[in-house]
Amino acid sequence: MNINRLFVALISLLVVFSFSLTSSAVSWDSSYDDQQTWVEEQNATAQFTYLEATITAKIKNNNDHVEYFKISQTYTGTLDTTTGSAIYWEVLWTNPCALKMIKYMSDVDDEDLGWKIQAGETKTVTFKLRATNINPSYPNYIRQPGINNTFWPLLNEPGLQASWFLPNEIEYLNPSLDLVSWKGHFCFWIKNLDYTRPKVSGIVRAPIVPIDSNLTYSNPEVTYIDNEVPWANTAAWDVVLYPGQSKHFSYTYQWPSTSSSSYSGSAGSSSYDVPTTAAASTNASVPTTSETGVPFALFVVGAIVIAGGVTYAKFFR
């Protein structure tokens, strides 16, 4: 029997099984009592006005010739493609100095930046990104697609959702490249866009969370770790925002998840009217209600497919 066909058939069965498993997890009458149901909302009073990420990745080239890898400046993450849009990024700096790649992926920036890695070499790179379509002129938040509101008189209010991604997707794209370690430090500002009515309260989650990673730092200290999505230690804060008030949050994740990684939080908190670290807003024309986020079921399916693809690429190709 052809081993390739056998493996493809196995992946197909896993996908079918995962759809069957997760469809019950998102239904309101599910036996999964710890799975929240998200009801479709109109908008959010508190939204992100700034988002940046500083990434450090250690990659090994297991091939016998030179390879290249580069920075992606479009994040769809776990995007609901029917209603959402991507987060676009500007590269602020890189270390070591990045090279301009031979081709580019989108019109976001026609100068894709990346690095050369020689055969057998292990390279560590660090780069800082800033979201260009999340700024004071275009506030944004991550929306979880929900079901229609047919409930009365009480509803669940789960707060602002996170989005998730797999740090080692590079191994699927190029099986010769092995992600040895990954660390991401994220900073964001959130603002109460209502200047007249009373203060607002709710749960704010980290907007971008890597799967199978440890939360090692946050400021202010997280209120709790949200484990609603398996394999994701999602940082969550209970937040109060007065009219027009902004608050700053930062957090760090480390991949792969290890028992030796410990969390250290800071009780300190900062709140100002204007982010002191935010650069001037861009003039890019973007929707004012861009959304990312995905149903739990679809993310699990995607994770299984990518994991299967990595295994196939590494061991059966």
Residue 247 sits in the same domain as residue 309: no
pLDDT at 86: 85
Residues of the chain with pLDDT under 50: 1, 16, 19-32, 79-82, 267-298, 312-313, 315-317
31 assigned to some structural domain? no
The predicted pLDDT at position 5 comes to 54
Residue pair 279/209 in contact by the 8 Å Cβ criterion: no
Partners of residue 67 on adjacent β-strands: 117
Specify whether 16 is located in the same domain as 152: no
Whether 242 and 273 map to the same domain: the answer is yes
Q: Cα–Cα distances in Å, from 218 out to 37, 238, 249?
A: 27, 13, 7
ω before 243 within 30° of 0 (cis)? no
- pLDDT value for 311: 52
Residue 272 lies in a domain: yes
Q: Which of 175, 221, 213, 188 is nearest to 61 (CA)?
A: 175
Q: What pLDDT, on a 0 to 100 scale, did the predictor assign at position 146?
A: 79
User: What is the span of the domain harbouring residue 167?
Assistant: 37-294
**b/e map 54-79, b = 16+ CB within 10 Å:** bbebebebeeeeebebbbbbebbbbb
Q: Are residues 185 and 97 in the same domain?
A: yes
Judgement on whether residues 208 and 280 belong to the same structural domain of the protein: yes
Q: Is residue 237 part of a domain?
A: yes
Q: Is residue 311 part of a domain?
A: yes
- Note whether 246 and 276 are same-domain residues: yes
* Domain shared by 159 and 112, yes or no: yes
Instruction: Check whether residue 276 and residue 309 sit in a common domain.
Output: no
Residues 176 and 284 in one domain: yes
Please give the C-alpha separations between residue 136 and each of 83, 182, 212, in angstroms, as whole numbers. 22, 30, 32
Strand-pair partners of 215: 253
CA angle at 144 for the pair 141 and 146, rounded to the nearest 5°: 135
Look up residue 158 and give its two tokens. 């789960």
299 found inside a domain: no
Are residues 268 and 316 located together in one domain of the fold?
no
The pTM score is 0.74
| Dist. CA 110–CA 102, nearest whole Å | 10
190 and 131 share a domain?
A: yes
Same domain (yes/no): 70, 19: no
Integer Cα distance of 181 and 172 in angstroms? 16
Peptide bond into 256 cis (omega under 30): yes
Flag whether 300 is in a domain.
no
Domain assignment present for residue 255? The answer is yes
Total number of domains constituting the chain: 2
